[in-house]
Structure 1
Amino acid sequence: MTINAGGTYFLGAGSICRIAVAAVALCAPLLAGGCETSNNNSAPTALTEGPKDTGSYPNLNIPPQVAAKQLSKEETAAKLGELKADEQAQLAKGGGVKPTANPAALNTLARTHGDDTLKQIEGKCDPALDPNCN
């Protein structure tokens, strides 16, 4: 078979019909197998017996046990009070939030930071930025 003959046979006007007929012929036994019915009239096991402990983990039919009791509103308030006291102690040690720098200085840094970094990456280092520059 030559390339031209193969091209006209497989890519001709009737090729879609030939492919569809072949697909139906190959898939018909698979589709017919799904139409079988059984004469077993029993109800599904889950509907007749209910949930059972099978010994395997997890059994989603049985509600889990509660691991610990929930905190009451008084206990919650006490725990929050302890956390606030710890926060105040940390702030007194100097662990608080530091004030932000001058916004104008931050804007200048934002404009020049990219160019300075590219110079260092490309090997065109500036001694003012990097004292170890050669």
Structure 2
Amino acid sequence: AGCSSTNTNGPTPVAAGTGPKDTGTFPNLNIKPQVAAPQFTEAEKNAKLAQLKADENAQAAKGGGPKVANQAALTDLAKKHGDETLKQIEAKCDPALDPTCK
């Protein structure tokens, strides 16, 4: 069973895009290339960095991430989960593939 395709009309046509062309000359590296967008000024850069820092401080003031209702229960679950997972791996038992796997 190799590759299969529903297209039986022959080879796929190659895109007729424009690629590199040999002009017979070398590029002039002394000509400054055009930029795609205007560059940030130093003032714009500082304003954006200040806004990011303000957002970071606002997030930190909220306490960072979501609060956990019972940290001890989650820690206990993590310890048990690791041991159970190792047992499944060592026994080469995958409950996703075999529902009777314990």
- Per the shorter chain, which TM-score range? 0.3 to 0.5
Bigger helix share? 1
Normalised by the size of structure 2, how large is the TM-score?
A: 0.37
Task: Indicate the structure whose relative CO is greater, using CA pairs within 8 Å and at least 6 residues apart.
Answer: 2
